[in-house]
Amino acid sequence: MDAILKLLGENARYSLEELSVLTGLTIDEVAEKLDNYENTGIILGYKAVIDWEKAGSEMVASVIEVKITPKYSHGFDEFAETVSKFPEVMSVYLMSGGYDILIEVLAKNFKELAMFVAKRLSPMESVLSTATHFILKRYKEKGVIYDNGHKDERGFII
């Protein structure tokens, strides 16, 4: 794996100077590699992992399992591309197992999430069924461990 990609995967806030020191490349070489990664679609974006609860937000996160009938000659791609365009959809994955598509959704509140499922997702022509699971607590996301500020005081029974 490329050293720059590995470092940015751990911390996307590294400066060109820091990446230069950490990789042994010149700043110009690092900048050129980053431009190339961005232009060729290897690096698709830079995002922060946000603890919405600490930020005082009432955002509701969920994952939705979707079973669909894939369209002839398009497979699952057409459905996934359509769903990906909805602003509340954070991620879309083709899955193996008991369902076809897994959708990560971040909504302003429960009502908005319910309306998304009932009015936008379920009525889609190829959807056979959905199962919505609410994320109650995050422990780790995108490699970042959430600090909930609580220590488990219960101890062990021996």
CATH number at residue 126: 3.30.70.920
Closest-CA residue to 62 (of 150, 133, 149): 133
Domain identity same for 80 and 127: yes
Is 107 a member of any domain?
A: yes
Strands 140-141 and 101-107, bridge-based pairing: unpaired
Share the mean pLDDT of the chain.
91
pLDDT of residue 117: 97
pTM, 2 dp: 0.80
**64 with 133, same domain?**
yes
Listing DSSP states for 67-132 in one string gives EE-PBTTTBTHHHHHHHHTSTTEEEEEE--SS-SEEEEEEESSHHHHHHIIIIIITTSTTEEEEEE
Residues 35 and 64 in one domain: no
- 153 domain-assigned: no
Q: Are residues 18 and 75 in the same domain?
A: no
Residue 50 inside a domain? The answer is no
8 A C-beta contact, residue 112 and residue 132: no
Same domain for 111 and 67: yes
- Which is higher by pLDDT, 120 or 141? 120
Percent of the chain past pLDDT 90, that is, above it, reads: 71
- Give phi and psi for 71, each to the nearest 5: -80, 145
Q: What is the mean pLDDT of residues 80-104?
A: 97
Q: Are residues 15 and 66 in the same domain?
A: no
Domain count within the chain: 2
Section 84-101 average pLDDT: 97
Q: Do 132 and 65 fall into the same domain?
A: yes
Residues 33 and 65 occupy one common structural domain: no
pLDDT at residue 148, as a whole number: 67
Amino acid in the structure at residue 139: Y
Residue 10's domain spans which residues? Answer: 3-39
